[in-house]
Amino acid sequence: GNGNGNGISGGNKGAAEDPKDVIAKSLVLVDVEIPEVALADGVHSKSFTGNGVLVHLDEAIGLILVDRNTAAIGPSDIRLSFCAYPAELRGTVRFLHPLYNFSLISFDPRKLSADALQAVRPCKIVAEPALSRGSKVILVGLSGALRPTARDA
């Protein structure tokens, strides 16, 4: 961690960074449209929007972690909008966890410009300090206008 107890590891070891600035490089707005034919799978709506976080990026694949309420089923049209750079890409559901309420969405990073690849960064997930009941947590997410927002939780 960076020593400020927020569980986010930033690159600047000197001064504590604003959690919004640290995580904004990894935040993605995920828009999901469900085709009519897939609505028979028990999905209660045709479109969903939620926040995702970039957890892996290399030259071949990018992976975004999102909740299963946003990406509930595989056959979906997914549009990804990055907070750190005005880029919009198509995504594909790659994994739906059956118990833990998360999905993994992949995208092709070769469709991002060189500038976009410099701006976006996978989130570094750290296990220390461990969270426990009563731990201070800062919830960071994106507004519909792709602006990072934060609040204590």
Q: Of the candidates 1, 144, 8, which has an alpha carbon nearest to the alpha carbon of residue 81?
A: 144
Q: Of the candidates 101, 65, 100, which has an alpha carbon nearest to the alpha carbon of residue 80?
A: 65
User: In angstroms, what CA-CA distances link 35 with 39, 73, 76, 78?
Assistant: 7, 11, 6, 11
pTM: 0.82
pLDDT in tens, 20-57: 888 999 999 999 998 877 666 666 788 899 999 999 99
